[in-house]
Structure 1
Amino acid sequence: MSRNTLEKVLYDLSTSGTHKKKFSEDPNKFLSRYQLDDKERALIREYKVRELADLGVNTMLTWGFWLQAGKSNRDYLKIMKREEA
């Protein structure tokens, strides 16, 4: 697993409307441009932010990624605290 690649994906999705749109249209096609394994792609597609953070991904990036998808800050905090969301 490459933490740097995971962080690059989350950064791209959080800072580019074009990338966000392409991801929402076809996540697998969008993610194919990055060197990710199947588990990494699944973590991103399924918004598994706690698991990404456990792999060392910067939590500011996981938070931005979560919020850009229209998900709530409250749910993010619950997930990060390992509470039910």
Structure 2
Amino acid sequence: MSRNSLEKVLYDLSTSGANKKLFAADPDKFLGRYQLDVEEKTLVRDYRVRDLADRGVNTMLTWGFWLQAGKSNSDYMKIMKREEA
């Protein structure tokens, strides 16, 4: 697994409206552009931000990724504290 590849994906999704649209339309196709294994693709596709952080992904990136998807800050905090939303 590559933390750098995961961080690149989250950065790209958090900074580009075009990438957000591509991801929303076909997550698997979008994620196919990156060197990710099946498990990593699942973590991104399913917004498993706690698992991403546990793998060393920068939490500012997981937070931005979560928020850009229209998810709530309070739910993010619950998940990160392992209180689950």
Range into which the TM-score falls when normalised by the shorter chain:
over 0.9
Identity %: 78
Segments of 4+ moved more than 4 angstroms: none
In the superposition, the TM-score normalised over structure 1's length comes to 0.99
Structure 2: runs of 5+ lacking an equivalent = none
DSSP 3-state at the match of 1:83:
coil
- Which residue matches 1:72? 72
- Deviations for 1:22-81, whole angstroms, at most 9, x for unmatched residues? 000000000000010000000000000000000000000000000000000000000000
Query: RMSD in angstroms over aligned alpha carbons?
Result: 0.3
In the superposition, the TM-score normalised over structure 2's length comes to 0.99
Query: For this pair of structures, how many residues does the alignment match?
Result: 85
